[in-house]
Amino acid sequence: MKVKYFSDTDTLYIELYAAAVDETRDLDENTLLDLDDAGCLCAITIEHASARMDIPAFSFEQVPAPHRSA
């Protein structure tokens, strides 16, 4: 997964996985969803991102799966 913020256009791009985009759908006027050829979501584009979220405070946390005993 890659997350890119373009300050010149105030655009946040979240690539869930690398894939050729087959279709782009509008979720709303400032959010675009990119789908691969199987119809799976592969990326999200958010316009006017700083007005919609706290960009400087962005963080990422990977949560491990709970350990299961047999």
Q: Is the pLDDT of residue 70 over 70?
A: no
Number of domains the chain is built from: 1
Encode pLDDT of 12-69 as tens digits. 999 999 999 999 999 999 999 999 999 999 999 999 998 887 766 777 777 888 877 7
**29 in a structural domain:** yes
Query: Whole-structure pTM over 0.85, yes or no?
Result: no
Give a yes or no: residue 30 inside a domain. Answer: yes
Answer yes or no: is 66 within a domain: no
Provide the domain limits for residue 18: 2-52
Exposed / middle / buried, residue 31 (Cβ in 10 Å: 0-12, 13-18, 19+): middle
